[in-house]
Amino acid sequence: MSVDGSLDRLKREGRIVVVGASLAGLRAAETLREKGFAGSLTMIGDEPYDRPPLSKQVLLGRATADRTGLPRHRAIDAQWRLGVPATGLDLAARRVRLADGDEVEYDRLLIATGVRARPWPQEDEAELDGVFVLRTRDDAEALERSLAQGPRRVLVIGAGFTGSEIASACRERGIAVTVAERADAPLVGALGGVVGQVAAELHRKHGVDLRCGVMVTGLEGDSAGRVRAAHFSDGNTVEADVVVVSLGAQRNTEWLAGSGLGAGPRGIACDAGCRAFDIRGIVTDDIYVAGDVARSPHPLFGYQFLSLEHWGNAVAQAETAAHNMLSDSADRRPHIWVPAFWSSQFGVNIKSVGVPSMGTEILIAQGSRSEHRFTGVYGYQDRVIGAVTFDQTKWLQFYQQLIETTAPFPPASPTVDRRPEGQQPMPADFPDPSVPTHGPTVTLSGYAPDDRRLSFTPARH
């Protein structure tokens, strides 16, 4: 309990505002109530829904977009301000400004505004009928409706995880699909070129017209304003009645411009306890950040600032932020969630842990790339930094433990590490980070100059 009783007063009668009412915001609100917060709780944003099914079940017609609402773990007794976005923040007055001109005062603020799909840069082309992005429930509903009409060909621009899942859904529905990727293979931004070549084989094995090393330079519409073709940087043209732009995400931070908070295109900087930094690098005590929009230092990964677009990270970070909002400094805990990600495409279950994109080397530790069933382990500065499995999920927990204990790379475990005789680590073949690629799910956005080794045992709750 705080010495002056201010924490008790906050719990009894304080005002907490959550900007961003989706996964992270909702889970934080539930945690606040579970931990005894009895004051006023205001939720600002859009109606919460679950995002992973959108590029999987919904596009296959196995679930409808209106059935993707997030389950509520408990009633949160909140004032909901849905559909009215936040437009500004007054740090000194502790007020959030809304688009309708209203202002909401807070004692604690959680920002969980997430990300949005990066649109096609040419606005007139982006507005053509038949051009889609996929991020929201409405996006998924509109795209599925278009796929159900049986287009002659779909063009997917960008072969990251979402773009690849869209291509997979198209092929499963028997629709011809072309995928354009500026890198040398799909998934290279997230998993590197060695694994990317396996992903390319999967695309082509399932009938995808995969075009790598090219960019789409323009979209062409017909006289009725419907997309009909795309022009490529190699001079080729592809006719398509549906185009899905899958060029990654933009973090929703524009509303914080001029607020004095440390927010920008890479997200909102916060400490390991989820407290936001201001533009002077000073940590705030009343503003917290969680989910895709947050970027925070991680001791397991050289104290680099990581931005994680992961479902599990949003939940864990929201729970940590809510705990710390209601705790004295001595009782606060760090958010040290090991990144984890999964994707299902072309009948293969792909899962990763750690930060593969930090890896400079990769070792195929189990299985075979040619059979599209394997485990790849990533190394960075002689330690295990990440792992990926293609239909070999059972190995992930073992490699997660190696990541958490900063185990040496290559891993030396003759009873578990059944790599073929003579198999050696090879360059992971990640692209130059200064060249944009589509779809890394972990963004490295800053680091400390030295590599700190430590042994980390996650807390069990």
pLDDT digits (tens, 9 = 90+) for 51-68: 554 445 667 766 655 554
Angle at which helices 161-172 and 137-148 pack, to 10 degrees? 30
How does DSSP assign 393-455, residue by residue?
A: GGGHHHHHHHHHTT-BSS---TTT--PPTT---EE--PPPTTS--S--SEEE----SS-----
CA atoms within 13 A on the CB side of 90: 12
Low-confidence ranges of the chain (pLDDT < 50): 1-3, 53-55, 68, 415-417, 421-422, 438-461
**CB neighbour burial string for 397-426, b if at least 16 within 10 angstroms, e if fewer:** ebbbebbbebbebbbeeeeebebeeeeebe
How does DSSP assign 355-375, residue by residue?
A: -GGG-SEEEEEEEETTTTEEE
Q: What is the pLDDT of residue 76?
A: 86
Q: How many CB atoms lie within 10 A of CB 445?
A: 16
C-alpha gyration radius of the chain: 23
Q: What is the pLDDT of residue 436?
A: 56
- What the block records as the tokens of 316 is 């864990």
Q: What is the pLDDT of residue 434?
A: 63
CA atoms within 13 A on the CB side of 4: 2
Alpha-carbon distance 278 to 270, whole Å?
9
The CA-atom distances, in angstroms, between 8 and each of 3, 108, 321, 323 are: 10, 14, 18, 14
Q: What is the pTM of this model?
A: 0.86
The CA-atom distances, in angstroms, between 286 and each of 42, 61, 93, 98, 263 are: 15, 44, 12, 19, 16
